[in-house]
Structure 1
Amino acid sequence: MRRIAILAIALFLLTGLAAPGRAQDVDIFEQDGVRDVQLSINGRDLAQLRATASENTYYPADFEYRGIKVRNVGIRSRGLGSRNATKLGLRVDFNRYTTGKLFAGHKALVLDNLWQDGSLVRERIAMALYERLGVPTPREVFVRVFINGDYEGLYTITEELDSQFLTRIGNDDGVLFEYKYVGVWHGEDLGSDSGAYVPLFEARTHEKQAQQTLYAPLRDLFTASSDASGEAWRARVESLVDLHQLLAYLAVETFTADNDGLLGAWGMNNFYVHRGADGTQHQIVPWDKDQSFGDVDAGIFLRVEENVLIRQALSFPDLRAYYLEKLQKCAEIAAGDGWLAAQVEASAALVDAAAAQDARKQFGEATRAETLSALHAFAVDRPSRVLAQIEAARATQ
């Protein structure tokens, strides 16, 4: 027994975990208060990380959360519009320097700096609604982040969308892509070369597969969605994308008046695509929803005509009816027992102290109060306004 104990301790020392038998038992996403993440990094490396925040260079660090320390992880700056040197958005890669190292079953986690959201709670609430509607959704939990003992601010730990995520949602060994915004695009056919889709869809699993294997089904999807119409269109497109799942996703995005999503004001943005290992059919996963809960009067068909795939899908009466049904479900969930308003109130109360002490956040306390007030008003008023639009849309069918 003594020899086994010694071997166990040696194994955990080699893998960089501070204590045996604990890390895999940690529930990262249990929100029992706002807990602390402690990062320790060489001072010169931290200065360089801030100075080159636009780059993806990794630096060694120690990570500690819920009493578990993981030594020698890799951290780097992350984000697009949220990337900055003042309040670092970070990716934590447990596997960077020691192959096979995990923390509670995760190779990596995202520390989202909540930079673009004056309320600091929008994304977490939006993701809760996606989850309630049955859309595969990354998990999140509010935390306070400290770097070398200094308070960096209020963050969320966000589940990395990778092979572990696919396993959790029952799509083991599937293919996962992150949509990368490179300019305005509404899903138009980019031609016969599957390579045209490589800059737009970054493979996050099976990265070493041949380009044709990875990207030909995506090319086929957007070629088919731009080609012809009617039942021939539907048969071909429905073999390549789960249209019902797509419209359920879109219903949440529409209800939350997300200005920077699949039907964003600047083209498509902020989503992942996954494809089952045993087929060609794609599904959509939400990501980066800090622009949700915008215009309370946003139309339920806003920008539908701009997107090739969505425009064609909603031309089918049964799919249009399904979309309206899911929109209605969103409104009913939000209004039922004041669920959405209660989410706003509870989240704001939960993070209040940590947010008030966050001196690195982009927007001050006055803006946070104003944004939370507007968010609460949205939660109260949006359901009835969406239901009224649904009623008018059904009257025209």
Structure 2
Amino acid sequence: MSIQSEVPLYKIFIHPLDFKELRSDIWCDDPVIAKLMIGKKKYDIDIVYRGSHIRKFKKKSYRIEFPRNDFMVKELHFNAEYMDKSLLRNKLSLDFFSSIGTLSPESSYVRININGLHQGVYLQLESVDRHFLYRRNLPDGPIYYAEDDDANFSLMSPIDEDVKESLDSGYSRKEGTDEDDLFLKELIYKINTLSKSHFEKEIVKYIDIDKYFRWLSGVICTQNFDGFVHNYALYRREDTGLFEMIPWDYDATWGRDINGIIMDFDYIPITGYNTLTARLLDVHSFRKYYRRLLQNILNKEFTVEYLRPKIISMHELLRPYVLKDPYIKKDIQVFDKEPQIIIDFIKDRNLYLRKHLSDLE
């Protein structure tokens, strides 16, 4: 987990007519052109609001694209983290996933100014796309975003409790071709139709088991209730043909839910949810592997000793800027209490998971 030493200022300039158009319909996904200035460097960008329910908040979140690809990335997300008064949970989660061996987006804090008006502190997130793979020297491969609860690895939709219209329902393809969709459909089909006697031998031809259990451990530790059926991306490596999980949007974690309300530390069981997890944990060898991996994480990375210094450093970095953030400075007392809430959650969640390791025997 890297710790920032400063929070840079990003200045965005949008023509008044374009800015009026952007604000006229918060649900419109058509970007407007703008300029981005970082220090003395200027970039042409397209900018639009991002997210679903978060578009209704006073402090908007944004997605920007670089048409000329002159910023080493094609796309960036600026998250307001409006419901997380600590501003810490999303970054802490994504960094935690990285520390336990899961592919995870890089993130950093920035300050945003639009047309001379200060918008406050934002979390900058890299997009999970071909550039994400390139920066990590990873092979090409299709990438799918899990967009809703249909991405539960089942043939049944939890939304209407009926058979899904398509095997790849719940996903949108970020990278890849129509031909790649067949691999995703085959994955869902195999998960749901392989007999118990054949599942252990066959599923390893489709899923990187080690990477899946590392991801599952991250979801279990951070307690992201939505993380089992969306808030993730699927990446299929061309060299191995195996799928891996990549976390996304992890602000509803570390003891709070999507509405910012305190969530009991024992809300999500050690076995998690979704069809794929249930089938994997029904196999003794896989269950044993997950138990050993999770126990190692509970001993090392998911501890107060490991995470507390990072939490405190991030909090101290952000505090001066939170005091100047027009949308959240009024919540400074809440902001100051959040690190201890997160630390208490880690302690309680760790103890809870340790007690339930025996469930995996």
User: Which residue pairs with 1:11 in the alignment?
Assistant: none
Query: Residue 38 of structure 1: CA displacement?
Result: 0.9
Task: State the match for 1:73 in structure 2.
Answer: 45
Structure 1: stretches of 5+ with no match in the other structure: 1-28, 263-267
Whole-angstrom CA distance in 1 between matches of 2:11 and 2:270: 45
Report the count of equivalent residues: 347
- Show the 5 A alignment for 1:178-217: 178-181=145-148, 183=149, 186-189=152-155, 196-197=166-167, 199-206=169-176, 209=177, 211=178, 213-217=179-183
Q: Deviations over 1:309-355 (max 9, x none)?
A: 11110011221122122222322234667121222211111111212
Q: Unaligned 5+ residue runs, structure 2?
A: 158-162, 256-263
Amino acid at match of 1:77: Y
* Paired residues of 1:53 and 1:85 also in contact (CA < 8 A): no
Question: Does the 8 Å contact 1:124/1:140 carry over to 2?
Answer: yes
Counterparts of 1:54-93 in structure 2 under 5 Å? 54-70=27-43, 72-84=44-56, 86-93=58-65
Structure 2 residue 238 is the aligned partner of structure 1 residue 277: yes
Report if the CA contact (8 A) 2:168-2:184 is conserved. Answer: no
Residue 197 of structure 1 deviates from its aligned partner by 4.6
CA shift for structure 1 position 85: 5.9
With 369-378 and 105-114 compared, the bigger mean Cα shift is at 369-378
Which of 73, 78, 84 is the equivalent residue of 1:117? 84
1:244 equivalenced with 2:210 (yes/no)? yes
| Residue pair 2:140, 2:238 contacting (<8 A) in 1 also | yes
Q: Is the 8 A contact 1:338 1:380 kept in 2?
A: no
What secondary structure, in the 3-state scheme, does the structure 1 residue paired with 2:166 have?
helix
> TM-score of the superposition, structure 1-length normalised?
0.80
Give 4+ residue runs of structure 1 displaced > 4 Å after superposition. Answer: none
**CA distance change for structure 1 residues 369 and 94 in 2, over 3 Å: closer, same or farther?**
same
- Residue of structure 2 in register with 1:355 after alignment: 322
Report 1:303-318 matches (<5 A): 303-304=272-273, 307-318=274-285
Return the offset for 1:204.
Answer: 1.2
Q: Shift in Å at residue 195 of structure 1?
A: 7.8
Cα distance in 2 for partners of 1:194, 1:380 equals 40
Residue identity in the other structure for 1:328: Q
Q: Output the amino acid matched with 1:314.
A: L
| Residue 255 to residue 281, structure 1, CA distance change in 2 (3 Å) | same
Q: What is the CA–CA distance in structure 1 between the aligned matches of 2:83 and 2:124, rounded to whole Å? A: 16
> How far did 1:247 drift?
1.2
| Pair 269,362 (structure 1): closer, same or farther in 2 beyond 3 Å | farther
Match of 1:173 among 136, 140, 165: 140
What percentage of residue pairs aligned between the two structures are identical? 20
Identify which of 306, 317, 329 aligns with 1:339: 306
1:136 to partner: Cα distance = 0.6
* Contact residue 235 and residue 245 of structure 2 kept, 8 A: yes
Alpha-carbon separation, structure 1, partners of 2:233 and 2:9: 28
Q: Following TM superposition, by how much is the alpha carbon of 1:203 offset from its aligned partner in structure 2, in angstroms? A: 1.3
- Whether 1:102 and 2:70 are equivalent positions in the alignment is yes
Tell me what 1:378 maps to.
345
Q: Provide the secondary structure at the position in 2 that maps to 1:102.
A: coil
In structure 1, C-alpha distance between the alignment counterparts of 2:151 and 2:302, rounded to whole Å: 34
Partner Cα separation in structure 1 for residue 192 and residue 340 of structure 2: 42
1:257 is aligned to: 223
For residue 83 of structure 1, give the secondary structure of its aligned residue in structure 2: helix
Q: How does 1:291-306 map to 2 (within 5 A)?
A: 291-294=252-255, 295-301=264-270, 303-304=272-273
Cα displacement (A) at 1:393: 2.7
User: Larger Rg: 1 or 2?
Assistant: 1
Q: Which residue of 2 aligns with 1:225?
A: 191
TM-score by length of 2: 0.88
In structure 2, the CA distance between the partners of 1:323 and 1:362, relative to structure 1 (3 Å rule), is farther
